[in-house]
Amino acid sequence: MAQVLEFKLPDLGEGLTEAEIVRWLVGVGDVVAIDQPVVEVETAKAMVEVPCPYGGVVTARYGEEGTELPVGAPLLTVAVGGTGAPEELAEAAPGATPTVGEAAAESAVSSEYSGNVLVGYGTAGPAARRRRVRHESHAVAKAPAPAPAVVAASAPAAVAVSGHEGPVPVISPLVRKLARDRGLDLREVRGSGPEGLILRADVELAIAALERPVAAQAPAAAAAPASALSPAVASTVASTVASAGERVPLRGVRGAVADKLSRSRTEIPDATCWVDADATELMAARAAMNAAGGPKISLLALLARICVHALARFPELNSTVDMAAREIVRLPAVHLGFAAQTPRGLVVPVVKDAGTRTAESLTAEFARLTEAARESALTPADLTGGTFTLNNYGVFGVDGSTPIINHPEAAMLGVGRIIPKPWVHQGELAVRQVVQLSLTFDHRVCDGGTAGGFLRYVADCVEQPAVLLRTL
Question: Residue 32 burial (CB < 10 Å; 0-12/13-18/19+)?
Answer: buried
Question: Residue 117 burial (CB < 10 Å; 0-12/13-18/19+)?
Answer: exposed
Cα–Cα nearest to 104, from 71, 140, 69, 73: 140
Residue 306, CA distances (Å) to 123, 191, 405, 427, 467 in order: 46, 56, 19, 27, 10
Interatomic CA distance for residues 45 and 409, integer angstroms: 17
- The rounded Cα 322 to chain-centroid distance in angstroms is 24
Of 135, 138, 164, 443, the active-site residue reads: 443
Interatomic CA distance for residues 303 and 285, integer angstroms: 12
Interatomic CA distance for residues 431 and 4, integer angstroms: 74
Name the maximum alpha-carbon separation found in the chain: 96
Residue 286, CA distances (Å) to 137, 343, 467 in order: 69, 30, 15
Question: By the 8 A CB rule, do 414 and 437 touch?
Answer: yes
Give catalytic status of residue 443 as yes or no.
Answer: yes
Strand partners, 414: 391, 438
Question: By the 8 A CB rule, do 189 and 202 touch?
Answer: yes
Interatomic CA distance for residues 35 and 118, integer angstroms: 10
Question: By the 8 A CB rule, do 303 and 392 touch?
Answer: yes
Strand partners, 149: none
Omega into 225 within 30° of 0, i.e. cis? no
List the Cα angle 280/282/287 in 5-degree steps: 95
Cα–Cα nearest to 456, from 341, 313, 295, 328: 313
Residue 204: in which H helix or E strand, if any? helix 200-211
Determine the 3-state secondary structure of 348 from DSSP. Answer: coil
Question: By the 8 A CB rule, do 140 and 38 touch?
Answer: no
Interatomic CA distance for residues 283 and 285, integer angstroms: 5
Strand partners, 440: 272, 412
Task: Please list the active-site residues.
Answer: 443
